Amino acid sequence: MKDLLKKYLEKQKNDVVLLDLDKESLQYDSRIKQHRKINKITGPEEYVRAFLIARLVNELGYKPEYIEIEKEYDIGRPKVNRPRIDVIVRDPSGNAFLYIELKSPEEFENDKDEVIEKQLFNLAAQEVGQGKKVKYLALYTFEEIENTLKDKALIIDYEKYNSFEKWNETREATNEIPANYGKALRIPYAKGGYFIDKKGNKQEANELETDFTHEQLDSLRKNLHNVLWGGGGTDDNDIFASLVNLILAKIQDESEKQKGEIYDFQVFYYKDGENAESNEELFERINNLYRRALKQRLNILD
């Protein structure tokens, strides 16, 4: 990944990030506001930040002078904690358009809900308390796909969900960093990394991950358990049964799709990128997958 990052940065027109892998050092453009000066690679998250900032400026249309790094907030009395947010992209009015917490690829799934609540929602509230608006919260990393670095993100509309509790009721999120202050959209998952639209055109899509660690799987298991558990109101046997049924539907979906077809096992968003399908629509599609799996894989016809 380091070599891919180096090649990516070398190809960019605007050198807003200078990276020296041998010395494990980096330097950001002076127009980028650094609340804490960064000149060393202190961990894998710095590689993620370098990639993101270069991409924000060179590909997504954001000016370096509107980007901030490592902003601190004073929280608590009399003992003061000073948590930081990794990256802020402001609009010309000074409001936070993108409010971003970074994770290494290996840690992206770890304690995801806690990170979203404490590092994104709680700190965004501090930003609002300082008289600023916040549009999108983003949990971000990159991933290597076919020898190329790609975004991996979970993006929440903070204007629509201004607390973790409200967001947790729907868990509505998109996954594409918006370009030039546009709308955050959701790129669908499709077999082969592309799909054919209604006009017969080939469109880029996400492909399912096949390279992952035991730690990532364990983190996903915990997240699934917590969502199905629902805060303690569900019996463990029911949780296990639901999880098995979901996995069965997922297997059915992956096995019956051909290249260029969009997977059914996902939440679909409409063209405006802001409105998800209804819970009833989602349930009906997943339930149909499950019913087909019972017949075709378990030979349960009743």
**Which comes out higher in pLDDT, residue 65 or 228?**
65
The mean pLDDT value for 99-127 works out to 94
* Chain center to CA of 218: 18
How far apart are alpha carbons 21 and 153 in whole angstroms?
Answer: 25
pTM of the entire predicted model: 0.77
The mean pLDDT value for 286-299 works out to 95
Name residues whose C-beta falls within 8 Å of residue 89's C-beta, 6 or more positions apart in sequence: 56, 62, 66, 67, 68, 96, 97, 98, 100
The mean pLDDT value for 92-102 works out to 97
Percent share of the chain, pLDDT over 90: 59
User: Is the CB of residue 192 less than 8 Å from the CB of residue 259?
Assistant: yes
Four-CA torsion 92, 95, 98, 101, nearest 10 degrees:
130
How far apart are alpha carbons 71 and 211 in whole angstroms?
Answer: 34
pLDDT confidence of 111, banded at 50, 70, 90? confident
Domains of the chain by residue range:
2-185, 211-302
How far apart are alpha carbons 84 and 78 in whole angstroms?
Answer: 19
Q: Is the pLDDT of residue 230 over 70?
A: yes
What integer pLDDT is reported at residue 201 of this predicted model?
A: 86
